[in-house]
Structure 1
Amino acid sequence: MAWGEFILALAVFLGSHVIPARFRGPLVAALGRRGYVIGYSLLSLALLYWLILASGRAPYVELWPQWPWMRWLVNIAMPVAVLVAAVGGMAGLMAGFALWGAAHLVANGDLAHVILFGLLLAYALFGLALGLRRGAAMRPTWPRLALAVLVWLALYLLHPLVIGVSPQP
């Protein structure tokens, strides 16, 4: 079962992003657009969290070593990723998610994390392309900027407790 949990978490996470397309109409009708978005977002976050934890429990197969500059890269990229996600609508969210995935891909050179962050990066880039095609505009406002700072600070400070790894270089 060494890889079993990771494969199951990955399949459920990916399935949760494919299957709802078939049920979106009835769910929006039943829950309302806001209810659907909140429910689906919470489900996605919970499944992403499980997937991240499962990737950490998968057997460690090193593809490249971790160097100190890689953690610096993540610590520089994450405030930018959160800021872009906070002010850019759907395209910004996907751009921030892509930056998050790319930085973590570089910093985590084991097989399970390369699969995890590589797939999430590809998914985010696909979503970014769709968002840009729709002409999504960035809307930086002071409340969104303040929210971005608070979210980044929470992610940074809670990372050791929630993920089990310190983001400090």
Structure 2
Amino acid sequence: MAWLEFAAAWGVFFATHSLPLRPPLRPWLQARLGPRGFIYGYSLLSLTVLGWLIGAAGRAPFVPLWAWAPWQAQVPLVVMLPVCLILALAIGRPNPFSFGGARSHAFNPARAGIVRVTRHPLLLALSLWALAHLVPNGDLAHVILFGVFAAFAAFGGRLVDKRRQREMGAAWQRQYSEVMSGIGTARPEAWGSVCLRLGLGVALYAGLIWLHPWLFGVNPLG
């Protein structure tokens, strides 16, 4: 039954990450919830299903694929700090290259921020999170869980690029060239915002360490 729950969780996860984003369902939901309501509702739904999926992996039968060693627990502990910093620098920022082109109208190539480093910072964070947690979780269910997320993050960027290039046309290459040229990089007064985001990233990292034993039953500090 535990494997059935794990399979069902994957089915719901894929359904909730495809159906609400496709026409005519997405326009129908946006018309009733509003753009912000749709984003908040979809984010809450995604986090809820992700929590179920992670819990289902923990309840699946334990089938070891490699032996656990104490050093493995240090990998996610170290890697999650840059993951949280990437999230803090990326969330809420305009990014025309991301899936859906978040707040493209407000994007300034001269103030691209983390987009100058990677077009898909959230996928980068997802990839690092998945690979780091794969190391100390060498059982079949968790290898499937984190392996699928790592593969999705690795190939998802290419799929998003192709879609956004079709949608944006010549504007995609023009904006990307402007971003990579480095012309007009952030002025000194922008560093206050950067420092604030970095501080929030550190706070998120500390909060995750504190909440991890209650959320997932594992203490990252041992």
TM over 0.5: yes
Maintained 8 Å contact 2:83/2:128: yes
For residues 71-150 of structure 1, the aligned pairs below 5 Å read: 71-88=73-90, 90=98, 91-130=120-159, 135=176, 141-150=194-203
Residue 132 of structure 1, CA deviation: 6.3
Identity value in percent: 46
Give the distance between the partners of 2:87 and 2:157, measured in 1 at CA.
Answer: 11
* Structure 1 unaligned blocks of 5 or more: none
Cα deviation, 1:4-41, whole Å, max 9, x if unaligned, reads: 11111111111111111222122122222211111111
* Structure 2 unaligned blocks of 5 or more: 99-119, 165-175, 180-189
For residues 1-169 of structure 1, the aligned pairs below 5 Å read: 1-22=1-22, 23-88=25-90, 90=98, 91-130=120-159, 135=176, 141-169=194-222
Q: Which amino acid aligns with 2:46?
A: S
Tell me the TM-score normalised to structure 1 length: 0.89
Q: Which amino acid aligns with 1:153?
A: A
Q: Which has the larger radius of gyration?
A: 2
Cα deviation, 1:22-78, whole Å, max 9, x if unaligned, reads: 221221222222111111111100110111111000000000111122111111100
Tell me the TM-score normalised to structure 2 length: 0.69
Query: What is the alpha-carbon root mean square deviation over aligned residues?
Result: 2.0
SS in 2 for 1:3: helix
Maintained 8 Å contact 2:80/2:205: yes
Q: Which has the higher helix share?
A: 1
